[in-house]
Structure 1
Amino acid sequence: MKNPSLSSYLLLILVTILLAACAAPRGTAPPPGKPEAPLPTKKVPPSAVPATQRPYVINGKTYYPLPSADGFEEAGVASWYGPNFHGRKTANGETYNMHDARTAAHKTLPINTQLLVKNLENNREIVVRINDRGPFVNDRIIDLTHAGAQELGVLENGTAKVKITALGEAIAYGPPERQIERFLPHEDFKSGDFYVQIGSFTQKSNADRLKDKMLSLGRKSVVQTYDRGDQVFYRVQVWAGRGLEEAKLAATALEQSGYPGYVVAR
């Protein structure tokens, strides 16, 4: 017969061992309160579109800046803005100077586009650079500075009918101070490589045909490819000389020959 006290003692030892085994840790627990490492997140790169090229809203209307000024031409009413805006920042961060005749505002043309502005009422012309947005009034298409309006003969009446023609692509974007270093003085736009664009086609064969026609007439011509993003255009441009006045005469001669067009600069 077994000793009951010995059996009880052995049973107590067994239970103690089992309880110790159940209480043993299974691993190292993280320190209390230590946050878990965050999951890696995909960084969203900043927008590559310059602020001056993004859509904007004025008086409830949304305006969409054009991606390019190449081949742009428009007729409408010019106005001017002066003392109330003098010293304020323009759309591209420059300081508006009402005494600078060579800057202007347009609603959608790329900032820094160079424009030839012609007053259709007195035939005066000036070349300006777009550095601001506006005008946001009725049928007005361009806002000149006080000095620009005076030079163009718009100051007294406040408005005038004008025609604006882009002289080339806008200068590359960058900080305003860096842009200013790249601006060409007004005189540089009186000389350079000028062409008269007389046609724009979606079929290259049609553009080549017109170019060959110009060549047969003794006029140096080229076909420029322009990719708008959703459509490719083939533009026929006729050499017009190295002076703006010479180019305008060439455009007139081409129009009289049945090939109307407009002057572009490169």
Structure 2
Amino acid sequence: MVAFSALLAAAVTTAPVPVQAAERNAQEQRARPSDDTSGRVQRGQASHYHRRLNGRRMANGERFSVNSNSAASRTLPLGTTARVKNLETGRTAMVEVEDRGPYARGRILDVSPRTAQQLGMLEEGVAPVEISPVEVPQRDGSTRPGAGASR
């Protein structure tokens, strides 16, 4: 009984060491096993975040800003930098994948309202886009150039 209580006391007093912010950010930037780290070009429908989401936390832990170049992707790793081209208008914008989504069927990317304005899709809300990753975080913590790096 004494050994059990000593063990219990040791377990209670030994608190887990908090992960440092820089280490946590590095862990968040690593690709998940299901992420597409190939850097290939993707095509599909994009939509934009609603302004009421301003200030909410994104998957990377940062707060969303409607004036940022944030984007959400279900398949690209967090931290991916990509060039997005609206296939209807030909306009392009650079984004950084900082969140997960979109969760609407048939969509491959959510962008901030500022980026939607740059792409000329703010009024319509949805547009066909081409996503060309420029820099893609890898599972080992390194980064590699994507298909958009050579353009």
Q: Settle same-fold status: TM greater than 0.5.
A: yes
Moved over 6 A (4+): 171-174
Pairwise CA distance, 1:103: 1.4
Q: Which has the larger radius of gyration?
A: 1
Aligned to 1:65: 35
Question: Any conservation in 1 of the 2:81–2:135 contact (CA below 8 Å)?
Answer: yes
Could you tell me which amino acid in structure 1 is paired with residue 127 of structure 2?
A
Alignment of 1:1-266 (within 5 A): 34-35=2-3, 50=27, 53-54=31-32, 64-66=34-36, 68=37, 70-100=38-68, 102-170=69-137, 262-265=147-150
How far, CA to CA, are the matches of 1:167 and 1:173 in structure 2?
Answer: 18
Work out which structure has the larger RCO, using CA pairs closer than 8 Å and 6 or more positions apart in sequence.
Answer: 2
Question: Any conservation in 2 of the 1:115–1:167 contact (CA below 8 Å)?
Answer: yes
Could you tell me which amino acid in structure 2 is paired with residue 74 of structure 1?
Q
SS state of the match for residue 126, structure 1? strand
Could you tell me which amino acid in structure 2 is paired with residue 127 of structure 1?
M
Q: Which consecutive unaligned segments of at least 5 residues does structure 2 have? A: 8-25
Pairwise CA distance, 1:172: 9.3
Question: Any conservation in 1 of the 2:41–2:148 contact (CA below 8 Å)?
Answer: no
- TM-score normalised to structure 2 length: 0.72
Aligned length: 129
Q: Which consecutive unaligned segments of at least 5 residues does structure 1 have? A: 1-32, 39-48, 56-63, 175-193, 198-261
- TM-score normalised to structure 1 length: 0.43
How far, CA to CA, are the matches of 2:148 and 2:95 in structure 1?
Answer: 16
SS state of the match for residue 84, structure 1? helix
Could you tell me which amino acid in structure 1 is paired with residue 57 of structure 2?
K
The CA RMSD over aligned residues, in Å, is: 3.3
Pairwise CA distance, 1:169: 2.2
Question: Any conservation in 2 of the 1:50–1:173 contact (CA below 8 Å)?
Answer: no
